[in-house]
Structure 1
């Protein structure tokens, strides 16, 4: 039986892989999307979905490449939302509530105010609010608030819903979503990648895009023992306010954050734990999240607790994602390691890869050198020649979760659209 053939096969159906598949299919390429657990089965259905590059990317350094990528992501959302809603007729998942960066002591307030002018060079709509105006705008905040930066354009997104919509739009554009299956390794023809071997058989493609999240290190020459991308567990809490709603996304620095969603719930986050691939919600994690509510927005202490959960952020060891072609493995493209900023940088990364793959320059005038895929070594650990793939007999799975079962399709369906 002849192996199926595509222009591009995208491995990983999270927010990054979904975006890559969407933009590639929209450009007219023959695209296959593959994931062992289904669409949005991991971090892309677990995050709070904050679109806050100023919070998450080290906004104190205006030359931070992650900040610039996040700001490009914010611009990209403006066109992406309109495109998706036009092409699918569905809500894209964005919640257009502004973000507040509050300070709860004089020192923090002074630090925020002193850095505001520099931030306004990137986002001129930012402005400082005195304490009285902050309390008037957001009465659920702690009365000790000393002031806040208001960011009108930094909202949030239902990231699982957006991921599923990207895949839906990709399918409408001609992409193919393959049945859930594990990837076993990269197919090589001489010195070039020519597809991959899955547990169901070989899949030939001119290009392979890895968007494999927290499990990406298995493809790297260092392997899982010296992981260049590792899982960082984050526990979250969903509340249901009984009275007035939260009117802003609240990012309170090291204290935590609160994210109002379209259905009226509020996500509270998040812990940062090195626990391997364990996604268990714990009593200690819940206590930490409740402390965020008590310190930042005590007006929510009477809100009902709806659920707690945990996800695994795919964090690179140097803090920057890997984006673009792998020079040592022609035909291989990387889009992994986005860590805490997957919501804001995931869709634009998919767009970047699609543009580069078609021979176009990096969009949004981005300098992609800090995100070079091979800066920490090659991505060619799982090599399978075409001749070896021809003798394929369902080899044992190489691409497994290290210490916990991946989310099943049934769980993804149970969660439903946010």
Structure 2
């Protein structure tokens, strides 16, 4: 077998593989024997069909099986001889295959390889490391948040729609005097200061009481998700059915026991709450640092070709995640406009490039696998909030798929930490609220 290699555009290479005539004959004979043994044709006994009849009836399939056999038997060796770091499955094109006159078999394999990158200095990234901690005030604010979560909404007959109240409303929207899809609802729950509405909608309902009926004028934003409503003026007929106020529970023994504090102690509750908040803080700190670092790396390396196999895999992952998010919001069927093949292309290319960069960094750091320190930290992040962390850690270690996911996350975390050791240029102080809520 002879193999020649030609560099093509981007990460593509063309392998031309020539298979000797004797190997071609063996492949054809093997394929022919298979059909001669198993083929069925009316008027002939199985296994006793004349050669010419067999070739007339199954010639194309015999040749096709022989092609496949030759490619399957030689492609792996051809790639090995080329010494290329091939990604995905090659595109095969047969160039010469007559299976007559003892001729050789020639095919071309278009392959993609991992991009060859030159490692760039981490110090050039100059990123701010994040400095943050959980303060007593943060703990107190979290307790207030938990009180609100445990609070009960109570209808107040004389209450006015204002910040912190919840109004049950009916509304009917129109543009150009015509009702539009999605613009009508009954008993819609509107919590002032929390429920996101188009600009001016909530503000014009504030100050009203139960039983009020009125019309408001609004304008849809230019970047509104519905194409037919972007930038359009609209009016809504509003009916306020009721207004509720939130009644908050006292912070006492009964309150803290709701959150699993068996002794009912406020001090114990605050300590446990702080631990959970610190875990949340660390997770948010890592997520933001990781995002900034990865964006900086993509910008540092700029544009370069990546294998289409990686891009397609990323597009599939992004599309699947998007569909899951939409289903979580109650959208059972995605509109065709959200199923475009190129919808995630730019993000997929960016992710594929980032993957190539991270692989290069992992290689340069000699990280064949994550260190025990980072694996344990990842396990603690997952199991720390559970009643028996050690038991959960053992369960994860025994589950091959789960532990592999932990190791992958730990490896990524170790890469981020090691790169940031050299990329960090000063600190940026952030509060718990800024970190966790990305404000």
Same fold (TM over 0.5): no
Which structure has the higher relative contact order (CA within 8 Å, separation 6+)? 1
Category of TM-score, reference length = shorter chain: under 0.3
TM (norm. structure 2) is 0.17
Answer 1 or 2: which has greater helix percent. Answer: 2
Q: Give the TM-score of the pair, scaled to structure 1.
A: 0.18
**Bigger radius of gyration:** 2
